[in-house]
Amino acid sequence: MPSSQPQPVAPSVRRQSAPHVAIAGATGAVGEEFLRVLAQRHFPIGKLTLLASARSAGKTLAFNGDDYTCEELTEDSFKDVDLALFSAGGSISKKFGPVAVDAGAVVVDNSSAFRMTDGVPLVVPEVNPEAITDANIGLGSDNVAGIIANPNCSTIIMLMAVTPLHRAVAVKRMVVSTYQAASGAGAAAMRELEQQTREALSEPGAVGEVKTQAIFPFQYAFNLFSHNSPMQPNGYNQEELKMVHETHKIWAQNENEKTAITATCIRVPVMRAHAESINLTFAHPLPEDEARRLLEQAPGVSLIDDRANNRFPMPLDATHRDDCYVGRIRRDLSQPGETGLDLFVCGDQVRKGAALNAVQIAELLLR
């Protein structure tokens, strides 16, 4: 059972054997995945509070066989809450994250609101669990202490594949091109892709007129387009720059050692798993076989790298799975000796890219 008293500081999460968990944005694609992941991993929950917008308040969601009614997210929602999982967009996190912390909760935030804020740990549990310390969570109400940020989905999936190699031999440069699923833009985007595809198939050859266009500015069915995040003056979109800057923070790189990264982020008509083509330049040689061995041993990583059968990771392999799948591991012929490698990785955007990673962060807090 959860404490009936508000806890003044966040380490309470660790003192609670069964904390009071709140989910902000419970009816979204990631919100519903939070429930699935918490149940599957038998996360100890003393009390569960589901929070949503006024529009979605009153909806019921099932968890471990019981129905829970969503309440409207307000400033009073976090009384007694020990752990708040946020996935309701950046503006909601900015507004209510500090409120939850003030009420004594630790916030694990899936939005980009606090990722690059000094003092807020940005964590992939397999990569940098050490970023979570007593010093940066649970110290009360200075706005950010008490918040732990979940990285961008594309960043998480990339770093699951690259970090095991980077630990062995420093990665000096990365060139990454993504193949991103609809789910990154939420459940409505997945429905839009589905509906558009039905419309396109209304004529043979999939050339039917696509009328449903609410989420994305372009036809998505049988098409692809540059990621729809805001474009920056340097010609990179925000998604791409997140992959650059979040990597530097997660790897705790100082100015002199920052890995040079360029990213091109593209949405492809796939439902919920991202893929990434990654080209690496190492500071010293890293033989292909050694890279394969390192990835075989990496937690949260599975290899699909079967050249004989031309069988490599696909989004459908990763869909609804916890692991990130890595393959096409090969020496880069365009770089001298064994200083370059190419990889291809797939990971479930909703799961490891969002809900699972956040719950894994929460598990670190329980220890």
Q: Which residues bind a copy of itself (CB under 8 A)?
A: 173-175, 177, 179, 190, 193-194, 197-198, 201, 204-206, 217-219, 222-226, 228, 230-231, 233-237, 244, 260-262, 264, 266, 268-271, 275, 277, 279, 288, 307-308, 310, 312, 314-316, 327-335, 340, 342, 344
CB neighbour list of residue 346: distance below 8 Å, 6 or more residues apart:
157, 273, 274, 275, 276, 313, 314, 315, 317, 318, 324, 325
Annotated active-site residue in 166, 265, 274, 346: 274
Pairing of strands 71-72, 66-69: unpaired
- Residue with tokens 């839009």, as numbered in its chain: 192
The per-residue b/e assignment along 269-305, b for 16 or more CB within 10 angstroms, e otherwise, is: bbbbbbbbebbbbbeeebeeeebbebbeebebbbbbb
**How near is the Cβ of 297 to a copy of itself at its closest, in Å?**
20
**How near is the Cβ of 67 to a copy of itself at its closest, in Å?**
22
Q: Return the number of the residue (130 or 306) whose C-beta is nearest a copy of itself.
A: 306
Q: Return the number of the residue (65 or 205) whose C-beta is nearest a copy of itself.
A: 205
Q: Return the number of the residue (193 or 362) whose C-beta is nearest a copy of itself.
A: 193
- Judge whether 274 counts as a catalytic residue: yes
Percentage helix, strand, coil, to 5, in the chain? 30, 25, 45
Q: In angstroms, rounded to a whole number, what is the distance separating the alpha carbons of residues 153 and 267?
A: 13
Task: State phi, psi for 249 to the nearest 5 degrees.
Answer: -70, -45
**How near is the Cβ of 324 to a copy of itself at its closest, in Å?**
16
**How near is the Cβ of 1 to a copy of itself at its closest, in Å?**
37
Q: Return the number of the residue (25 or 315) whose C-beta is nearest a copy of itself.
A: 315
- Judge whether 346 counts as a catalytic residue: no
Which are the catalytic amino acids? 153, 274
